[in-house]
């Protein structure tokens, strides 16, 4: 897939690096349809394509201060989109039943409550599921076992890790999930503020 660059791309990236929300909206508009069409071709799902495109732009917004390091943005955008799409296809094909059975009662996790993140809001459950699915394998396994109420020592024995590693993986997982939810909320607020969501 060849993504057509917009003429003012470099200027937009500079402004986005400064946190300019209107520049980000312009970038979104410039590339949204191009990558959405590509994702629909691979997934045959417009709903899934919208989720993936949103995740891609969330990632771009999260890393906005590093955009100046990207030599060719369209290549970066394509690779990011391809990776998110392939990961999503793998998850949907192989883990549908397992994912439906996940225990996501995160409000009962004392460490999450201590972080004071918005993970206990029922409206965030879909975002939480997507965030968990994108965790690195070790963090993913530890996180799910912790949600089953397993103790660190038991998890350490089962996964062949130290109890300290289990604790760190859980902390990193919680931070990643919280940041994912927060970034999506922030991005949604930006879209609403500049009128994207209503168009």
pLDDT at 167: 87
Instruction: Give me the domains of the chain, ranges plus CATH numbers.
Output: 9-94 (1.10.1740.10), 98-194 (1.10.10.10)
DSSP state of 60: H
pLDDT at 94: 55
For residue 122, how many other CB atoms are within 10 A of its CB? 7
Q: What residue ranges of the chain have pLDDT lower than 70?
A: 1-2, 92-125, 185-199
pLDDT at 57: 92
pLDDT at 114: 34
């Amino acid at each position: 897939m060849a993504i057509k660059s917009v003429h003012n791309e470099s200027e937009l990236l500079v402004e986005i690096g400064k946190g300019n929300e209107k520049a980000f909206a312009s970038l979104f508009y410039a590339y949204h349809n191009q990558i959405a069409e590509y994702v629909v071709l691979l997934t045959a799902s417009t709903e899934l394509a919208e989720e993936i495109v949103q995740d891609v732009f969330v990632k771009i917004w999260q890393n906005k201060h590093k955009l100046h390091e990207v030599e060719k943005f369209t290549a970066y955008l394509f690779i990011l989109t391809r990776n998110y799409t392939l990961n999503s296809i793998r998850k949907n094909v192989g883990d549908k039943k397992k994912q439906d059975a996940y225990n996501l009662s995160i409000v009962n996790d004392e460490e999450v409550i201590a972080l004071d993140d918005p993970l206990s809001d029922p409206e965030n459950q879909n975002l939480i599921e997507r965030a968990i699915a994108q965790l690195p394998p070790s963090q993913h396994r530890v996180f799910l076992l912790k949600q089953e109420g397993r103790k660190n020592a038991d998890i350490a024995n089962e996964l062949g890790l130290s109890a300290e590693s289990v604790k760190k993986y859980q902390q990193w997982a919680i931070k990643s999930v919280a940041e994912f939810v927060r970034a999506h909320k922030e991005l949604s607020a930006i879209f609403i503020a500049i009128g994207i969501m209503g168009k």
